[in-house]
Structure 1
Amino acid sequence: MIAIVGGGIGGLAAAAFLHRAGLPVTVYEQAGQLKEVGAGVVVAPNAARLLRRLGVMDELLSRCVRLEVGWEFRRWRDGTVLSAEDLESSCERLYGEHTYTAHRADLLEVIRRAVPDEAIRLGKRCVDVVTRADRPVLRFDDGEVAEADVVVGADGVHSAIRGALAPAVPAAYSGICAFRALVPAEQAPPFARRRAQTLWIGPGHHLVHYPISAGKFVNLVAFAPAGDYSVESWTATATVEEFLAEFDGWDARLVDLIRSAGTPGRWALLDRAPLPRWTYGTVTLLGDAAHPMFPFFAQGAAQAIEDAAVLARCLAVDPADPADALRRYEELRIPRTSRIQQVSHARSHVNHLPDGPQQRARDGALAKDDPLVANGWIYGYDPEAEL
């Protein structure tokens, strides 16, 4: 039996792919109900093709937004468009799939439908994993003990499984915090309701917005200097006034959009170097537990879904030797996820340049670049074909 600790997007995707491969699986989720905090998520072609293989893409299409425009960079002060990518005409031609935006809760729900109800156990908070007679054993806060053939730690950035496996490495202060909010579409200006992913970039800050929930809401996520703020939690909140203060002096249209938001979330981005190892015997990691990354390439959920597909294929090919299968999974995934962690990290500096010669050079490069093609190594990747 394969035990997955964590019922978020990565954990449920792993359960869905494992179930599809005919392997027995149980998901242990600490919450009393499956839910996804946060708001928007970009479903790029590399994630969309895997969701289609799971048979959940048709259901997601009724809940998401297919983007017509992406990588639309705008100047902070007046909204001048520095570059924009025609996703409608190019994305499917290049990668066989479109790019979508969705509410995280909708994405979680459609993946959950690919997992049998009896395979999901709620209210189970794992506190430790130990090895007994070469088999991993999970311990829960209610005293229950569960033995498994394989354990997958998909329990997020504060992973208990990772903490039990490897020496603790403290996260570094990044100096950046993030705000997130939703604006009802009827309160949003027309430019924000377009089927576009727009990035406003300026000194020390940037803000991204796009429609989600079949166009019912506009998702905002913004990045600003953290000061002494260090809370890394998706449930922490700020005030609209604090959010507005960070973008004082920016284009009035953007300020009006922020003003229409409900209570914004706020969390610190803590910096973590890529892990050199994920797997210990028949225990491994997946998603944010393995490779937490800055969100500047919108690949966090996509990489967790890729992990899930590769993990299931490796275990299905070599079910008699799960330790070897997990080593193969790690070998395939660490180089790719580490690279995406690194390029996401570097993007914060590029987006936040102060006005001046470097900023003008960046803006000129944006006008010439084709990010959809330049990032083909991300969007064109097919983990199942790779295997």
Structure 2
Amino acid sequence: MHILLAGGGIGGLAAAVALLQRGIDVDVYERAPELREVGAGIQISPNGNAVLDSLGVFEELRSLSCDPARKEFRLWNTGKPWPMFSLGKSVIERYGYPYLTVYRPDLHQTLADRVRALKADAIHLDSAVTGCEQNDSSATLILQNGQRITGDALIGADGVRSVVRNALWPDTDAAFSGMVTWRALIPMTSLPEHMRESVGSTWIGPGGHAVNYPLHRAEIMNFAATIEGKRWTAQASFEQGTVEECLDDFKGWHEDVQTMIKLAPNLLKWGLMKREPIPQWTQARISLLGDAAHVTLPFLAQGAVHAIEDGMVLARCLAGAKPSDIPAALLRYEHARIERTSRMVRGATDNTERFHSSELATEASAAQYLEREWSAAPIAERYDWLYSYNANTVEI
């Protein structure tokens, strides 16, 4: 069996490793001229780390990453903290793996190295996909340079603006959400001492929120701040921003938020896209994975994790199948994943209001709001089903 993967992001590379581990030949076609991740930090919850362990990259990634002591809320203007939940040992005891904060390029490079260790020439760079075709026995990827690559199946792991998805279901791109996220990486040594704690902080306020947590052996502080009521006209996913505009967006927010903005060596502005989950991923020998299948707002910290889960479940469904069985195997993969990922997408959308509620305007109303929405019981209901899932063993 020979599987073609369009897209060499985190989901595509995770799928490639899982397939190669099962003796399935894979080729990955990536549009970029070099393999790199644009972005900053991501959070990998226990359900993601369980898969990364099976892929053989968890221990290396853990050594490069951070394991914060806890997650907490901070009120946007006063900075008053409320514990969200403890991490560290308690998470490992409950779910079997830690909750890591990860520098995105570290994860991407670790997966790429693992792919190449299993098949040295599996990743093809500068290979932009422009279309795809299929017949009863094969799927074909069409590249911008005119090449036509044929395999037994094709998986579109080519992101929010997926060429493969739009070939199957035209005009399914996500729309701008009205929100922009500012992202920056700040050297830990440049921050004041009181801001270097190994904690994941979510600053919540009316109409916006900010997140910061340590990365890359606590050498870097990740900063991501989302604000409503913005416009987006850029064709790309992100563009260069300015300190002045970011400070204006977060005028009146706590001094620590202002400090991170001012100390950021570079601020990128990302337009957040959203779309209701599509009801179908698969047509015969072509299917989807990751953002191509289930683009999500980043408010459950599960986008990358669910792409990693997709890769493992896909490989398990294809393992042992004959080429003639591929359409049925891909449908089994879709059925195993689509309900969970759709619930994740809708949960992330629901969290927009939870992070941006008008009730967060004052400390008194915020305290009542957090007790109602973010005490132990609602947190468990919202997150336990995510973290307790294991893509390595879930029934398919």
Name the residue aligned to 2:133: 130
1:378 lines up with 2:379 in the alignment: no
TM-score (norm 2): 0.93
User: Secondary structure of the residue that 2:369 maps to in structure 1?
Assistant: helix
**TM-superposition CA deviations, 1:319-372 (whole Å, max 9, x none):** 340110000000010000000000100111111112268645322235632576
Residue of structure 2 in register with 1:245 after alignment: 248
Instruction: Report the CA distance between 1:190 and its aligned residue.
Output: 3.2
> Which structure 1 segments of 5+ residues have no match?
none
Q: Is the 1:63–1:213 Cα contact (8 Å) retained in structure 2?
A: yes
Contact map agreement 1:67 1:98 (CA 8 A) in 2: no
Structure 1 Cα separation of the partners of residues 349 and 82 of structure 2: 22
The residue aligned with 1:213 is 216
Partners of 2:176 and 2:107 lie apart in 1 by: 30
Bigger CA drift: 287-296 or 76-85?
A: 76-85
Amino acid at match of 2:239: A
Pairwise CA distance, 1:55: 1.1
Could you tell which deviates more after superposition, 357-366 or 223-232? 357-366
Q: Is the 8 A contact 1:212 1:219 kept in 2?
A: yes
Equivalent pair of 2:161/2:173 in contact (CA under 8 Å): no
Residues 33 and 122, structure 1, Cα contact 8 Å, conserved in 2: yes
Which runs of 5 or more residues in structure 2 are unaligned?
A: none
Residues of 2 paired with 1:18 and 1:201: CA distance? 41
State how far apart, in whole Å, the 1-side matches of 2:129 and 2:265 are: 33
Instruction: Output one character per residue of 1:61-118: Cα deviation in whole Å (capped at 9) or x when no partner.
Output: 2211112112x00111111012232212310011001111111100001111221221
1:39 aligns with 40
Compute the displacement of 1:59 (Å). Answer: 1.0
> In the aligned structure 1, how far is the partner of 2:151 from the partner of 2:374?
53
**Distance apart, 1:139 and its partner CA:** 0.9
Question: How far off its partner does 1:32 sit?
Answer: 1.3
1:323 aligned residue: 327
C-alpha displacement at 1:257, in angstroms? 1.7
For 1:371 and 1:310, how far apart are their aligned partners in 2?
A: 28
Partner SS for 1:177: strand
- Report matched runs for 1:87-98 at 5 Å: 87-98=87-98
- Tell me if structure 1 keeps the 8 A contact 2:240–2:269: yes
1:245 Cα deviation after fit: 1.1
Q: Distance in 2 between matches of 1:294 and 1:195?
A: 25
Contact 2:174 2:295 in 1 (8 A): no
Counterparts of residues 196-345 of structure 1 (less than 5 Å): 196-231=199-234, 233-320=236-323, 321-345=325-349
Change (3 A) 1:192 1:284: farther
Amino acid at match of 1:224: I
Q: Identity of aligned pairs, percent?
A: 37
Whether the 8 Å contact between 1:192 and 1:210 is mirrored in structure 2 is no
Contact 1:232–1:267, Cα closer than 8 Å, also in 2: no
What secondary structure does 2:133 align onto?
A: strand
**Aligned equivalents of 1:333 and 1:190: distance in 2?**
44
* Pair 173,8 (structure 1): closer, same or farther in 2 beyond 3 Å: closer
2-side partners of 1:48 and 1:232: how far apart? 33
Q: Is the 8 A contact 1:174 1:269 kept in 2?
A: yes
Say which of 352, 371, 381 aligns to 1:364: 371
Aligned to 2:28: 27
Among candidates 198, 204, 226, match of residue 195 of structure 1: 198
Mean CA deviation greater in 156-165 or 348-357: 348-357
SS at match of 2:393: helix
Q: State the distance in 2 between where 1:274 and 1:256 align.
A: 37
Secondary structure of 1:73's counterpart equals: strand
Mapped to 2, the partners of 1:21 and 1:121 lie a distance apart of 21
Structure 2 counterpart of 1:6, one-letter code: G
Alignment partners' CA distance in 2, 1:177 and 1:232: 14
Deviation at 1:233, TM superposition (A): 3.5
Distance 1:84 1:190, change over 3 A: farther
User: Is the 8 Å Cα contact of residues 211 and 225 (structure 2) preserved in structure 1?
Assistant: yes
CA–CA distance in 2 between the matches of 1:15 and 1:278?
18
Per the alignment, residue 65 of structure 2 pairs with 64
Alignment partner, residue 8 of structure 2? 7
Q: CA deviation at 1:133?
A: 4.9
Aligned to 1:156, the other structure's residue is in SS state coil
Q: Residues 64-213 of structure 1 correspond to what in structure 2 (within 5 A)?
A: 64-70=65-71, 72-115=72-115, 116-169=119-172, 171-213=174-216
One-letter amino acid of the structure 2 residue matched with residue 89 of structure 1: K
Contact 1:69–1:87 (8 Å) recurs in 2: yes
Alpha-carbon distance, 1:168 to partner: 1.1
Q: Which amino acid aligns with 1:327?
A: L
Give how far 1:202 is off. 0.6
Q: Write the letter of the residue equivalent to 2:339.
A: P
Output the CA distance in 2 between the equivalents of 1:228 and 1:258: 20
Cα distance in 2 for partners of 1:10, 1:65 equals 21
- Structure 1 segments of 4 or more deviating over 6 A? none
Shift of 1:43: 1.0
Shift of 1:215: 0.9
